[in-house]
Structure 1
Amino acid sequence: MAIRERLSGNEAVATAMKQINPDVVAAFPITPSTEVPQYFSTYVANGEVDTEFVAVESEHSAMSACIGAAAAGARVMTATSANGMGLMWEMLYIASADKLPIVMPLINRAMSGPLNIHNDHSDAMGARDSGWIQLFSEDNQEAYDNTIMAVRIGEHKDVRLPVMVCLDGFIISHSVENIELLETDKVRNFVGEPMAPFYLLDSENPVAMGPLDLPAHYFEHKREQAQSMFNAKTVIAEVFADFEKLSGRKYSYFEEYKLDDAEVAVVVLGSTAGTAKTVVDELRAQGMKVGLLKLRVFRPFPAAELAEALKHLKAVAVMDKAESFSAAGGPIFMDVRSALYDLEARPKITSYVYGLGGRDVRTTDIEKVYNELKEVAATGVVSSPYNYLGVKE
């Protein structure tokens, strides 16, 4: 029977980590992720887990310790935010290149500078091509569930990649919501025992990890790494299906909200989806055929599935809580537009960058996007493909 609780997003993630009982957690505090290792270190001190907790002097060292432990065959987790992940930058690529399934809750926060501790997605989007799987959470329940599923996904023999579990700083991390926990024994049965196919401490089958990789082999290793990301799409779907059998909660690459008969729709990820759903309901009550697609899996990017879900629409707006500085729209926008390119009849598409540095996004802001989409659908003309929502120009 599910256990009803009231937890913040950070405590929900830490609770999932406790139930998973990883071999090693190495972490360094940074707002707004600090509570995750803080809660978890309490579980260690109280003897509630068997985990070796490694207190380090920086986030670079945290990821370095995680890499060493995972290479030795351990199940490893950490947590960080924004500039902390920025200090890990070198090691993110090494973790994915060495096929080490580290799970890292990333409590999304704006990257400096200027210094800002509030939420946007610039940290995750900056690392989108680092070789990590990225799962995004709308609320505390999804953050908890994603943390559990991430272990199964990353450790699968056909994947062996690290996983970021993304949740919005303060909006999710520090807000308390009702949540349904699974029993600990069910969580441990679901994730199973760590089964590394090769590891440094296996004296019977010695291996090297992270050696110098010259032109004769580097390309092939990158191709193999890319294949693992292709494989992850299939594995993610399988893990989602198994988790539904366990919990009754259904997940997919994305959530379609009132999208079937919609004429226009917004694509968004993270906690903003909850606000957008309210707007969809209000506009539906006024007779507008509007819908929402909430991305849950950003890497690997579900391009074909997303194109199929959006192909019937007249106009689509993609909302990015990060600036790509490409002068060609936000990062999610560019991937969505690419996914739609091969459709014979493509919906018109526009980019909206919003919420940088924790700027509030209100229902009236999202309603403005839908009203502009309605105009695009009626005229077939996109007058402004690249837009900023809620900025003081």
Structure 2
Amino acid sequence: MAKRVSLSGNEAVAQAMRQINPDVVAAFPITPSTEIPQYFSQFVANGQVTTEFVPVESEHSAMSACIGAAAAGGRVMTATSANGLALMWEMLYIAASSRLPITLAAVNRALSGPINIHNDHSDTMGARDSGWIQLYGENAQEAYDNFIMAVKIGEHPDVQLPVMDCFDGFITSHAVENLEMLEDEEVKAFVGENRVAPYALIGQEPVSMGPLDLPPYYFEHKRQQAEAMKNAKRVILEVAAEFEKLTGRKYGLFEEYRMEDAEAAIVILNSSAGTAKAVVDSLRAEGKKVGLIKIRVFRPFPAEELAEALSKVKAVAVMDKADSFSAAGGPVFTEVRSAMYGRADGKIVVSYIYGLGGRDVTTNQIEKVYNDLFSAIETGKYEVYNYVGVRE
């Protein structure tokens, strides 16, 4: 039976780790994810888990240790942020291409430089094409739930891919919220006591693994990896349905908020969705037909489903807490606009960059985005590439 607790996002994810009791956790501290391995190391020291905890000298080493442990057939986890994720870059690709279902708590933080320890999404957006599944969560409850589901998703025989559980640094990681925690036995039953590895370095039928893959086979292996990512979309929904039966909490590829008759909509990620929902409610009270879509699954990208959800609106603003420096819009914007092309044509689709380096986003700023959309609908005039909340 679920129990009501008050925890920060980092504490909630550390508790999920404890409940799962992985074989190996290898980690190196970096703000704002440091608390996750710190809390978990206490569980190890207290004998609450049987996990082998590996303190390493860098994040590159942390992911390297995770790859080795996962290749040996173990259930493996870690946590990092920002520059730490960037230092893992090479190993992120190796983990994914080796088809190793490692679970990573990615606590979103601005990527240097200049150095900044506050929240935006430049770290995980930079890793969006590394081959990892990416789940995003609005609050501590979703960070906890997504982490548990991530294990089951990544280990599914049709997937066998690593998964990032992404949530906002400080805003979610350090803020204490009320949430429902499952009983330890429920979590263990949901994910399974042990990982079942279809292949491993050790065991009854050991295989050898290595990073060298020359032209005769490399392309085919990448094709298999791409197919696994396609399979992940189905598996994510299957795991979510099973989780809903256990908890009553429903998860999809994204959340639609008051979209039933919306003319203007915002697409957004993570904690800012909570602020935007308040604006939606306020504008709805004034009779304005506005809605919101909060993307939960960014990899694999739910292109067809998102296009269908946006097919009846007149204008869409995609709000990115990262800039792609493409001179054409933010990373989520380009994905959304591409998804709509040929499926939901004739819409106004614009990009808004906001909140970089932890800059606050206010309800007034989000209300302005909606007002801009209505102005674009009325006049047909708009800028595609915009910034909100910055001194020009």
- Place the TM-score, normalised by the shorter chain, in its bin: over 0.9
Residue 254 of structure 2 is matched in structure 1 by 254
2:174 is the counterpart of 1:142: no
Question: Mapping of 1:326-365 within 5 angstroms?
Answer: 326-343=326-343, 345-365=345-365
Please give the secondary structure, in 2, of the residue aligned with 1:135. Answer: strand
**Match of 1:216, SS?**
helix
Q: 1:75 and 1:15 mapped to 2: Cα distance? A: 16
Aligned residue in 1 for 2:130: 130
Q: Write the deviation string for residues 129-148 of structure 1: whole angstroms up to 9, x where unpaired.
A: 00000000000000000000
Structure 1, gaps ≥5 residues long: none
1:378: how far off? 1.8
SS of 1:275's partner is helix
1:65, CA displacement in angstroms? 0.2
Number of the residue aligned with 2:383? 384
CA 1:345–1:58 in 2, change beyond 3 Å: closer, same or farther?
closer
Q: Which amino acid aligns with 1:213?
A: D
Q: CA deviation at 1:345?
A: 3.7
Aligned-pair identity in percent equals 70
Q: What is aligned with 2:167? A: 167
Task: Name the aligned partner's letter for residue 261 of structure 2.
Answer: D
Go from structure 1 to structure 2 and tell me whether the alpha carbon gap of 1:367 and 1:75 turns closer, same or farther (over 3 Å shift): same
2:319 partner SS:
strand
Q: Is the CA contact (8 Å cut-off) linking 2:120 and 2:321 kept in structure 1?
A: yes
Shift of 1:286: 0.6
State the Cα deviation string for residues 225-275 of structure 1 (Å, max 9, x = none): 000000000000000000000000000000000001111100001000000
State the match for 1:120 in structure 2: 120
Which one-letter code corresponds to 1:148 in the other structure? I
Runs of 4+, deviation exceeding 3 Å:
none
Report Cα offsets for 1:300-321 as digits up to 9, x if no partner: 0000000000000000000000
Match of 2:68 in 1: 68
Q: Write the deviation string for residues 171-214 of structure 1: whole angstroms up to 9, x where unpaired.
A: 00000000100001000000012100000012x42312124211
TM superposition shift of 1:347: 1.6
Give the deviation of 1:346 after TM superposition: 3.1
Kept in 2, the 8 Å contact 1:340–1:346? The answer is no
Which residue of 1 is the match for residue 242 of structure 2? 242
Write the mapping of 1:9-20 to structure 2, written as runs, cut at 5 A.
9-20=9-20
Q: Which amino acid aligns with 1:233?
A: K
Task: Give SS of 1:201's match.
Answer: coil
Q: Find the aligned partners of 1:77 and 1:321 in 2 and give their Cα distance.
A: 26
- Do the aligned partners of 1:79 and 1:106 also contact (CA within 8 Å) in 2? yes
Indicate if the aligned counterparts of 1:101 and 1:162 stay in contact, CA closer than 8 A: yes
Equivalence map 1:258-297=2 (5 Å): 258-297=258-297
The alpha-carbon deviation at position 344 of structure 1 amounts to 5.6
TM-score, with structure 2 as normaliser: 0.99
The 3-state SS of whatever aligns with 2:216 is coil
The one-letter code sitting in structure 2 at the alignment partner of 1:375 is S
Counterpart-to-counterpart distance in 2, 1:210 and 1:154: 21
Find the counterpart in structure 1 of residue 200 from structure 2: 199
SS in 2 for 1:294: strand
Q: Determine if contact 2:94/2:211 at 8 Å carries over to the other structure.
A: no
Secondary structure at the aligned position of 1:79 is classed as: strand
Distance 1:344 1:126, change over 3 A: closer
Letter in 1 for 2:342: D
Letter aligned with residue 382 of structure 2: S
Q: Tell me, yes or no, if the aligned pair for 1:137 and 1:167 is still in contact at 8 Å.
A: yes
- Contact 1:100–1:161 under 8 Å retained in 2: yes
In 1, Cα distance between the equivalents of 2:97 and 2:14?
27
Matched positions, count: 391
**TM superposition score normalised by structure 1:** 0.99
Is contact 1:348-1:382 (8 Å) kept? no
> CA separation of 1:364/1:374 partners in 2, compared to 1, >3 Å: closer, same or farther?
same
Kindly provide the amino acid, as one letter, of the partner of residue 383 in structure 1: Y
CA contact (8 A) 2:110 2:122 kept: yes
Q: What amino acid does structure 1 have at the position aligned with 2:267?
A: V
Counterpart of 2:94 in structure 1 is 94
Match for 1:194: what amino acid? R
Is the CA contact (8 Å cut-off) linking 2:330 and 2:351 kept in structure 1?
A: yes
Q: Partners of 2:82 and 2:213 in 1: how far apart? A: 30
Tell me the secondary structure at the aligned position of residue 283 of structure 1. Answer: helix
| 1:308 aligned onto 2:305 | no
C-alpha spacing 1:240/1:318, structure 2 compared with 1 (3 Å): same
* SS class of match (1:78): strand
> 1 CA distance for matches of 2:211 and 2:254?
38
Conserved? CA contact 1:311–1:346, under 8 Å: no
Q: Which residue of 2 aligns with 1:33?
A: 33
SS of the aligned residue for 1:110 comes to coil
**Counterpart of 2:178 in 1: which secondary structure?**
strand
Structure 2: runs of 5+ lacking an equivalent: none
Amino acid at match of 1:91: M
Per-residue deviation, 1:2 = 1.1
Q: Distance in 2 between matches of 1:42 and 1:190?
A: 24
| Residue identity matched to 1:390 | G
Partner of 2:2: 2
- d(CA) in 1 for partners of 2:157, 2:185: 23
Letter in 2 for 1:362: T
- The code of the aligned residue for 2:20 comes to I
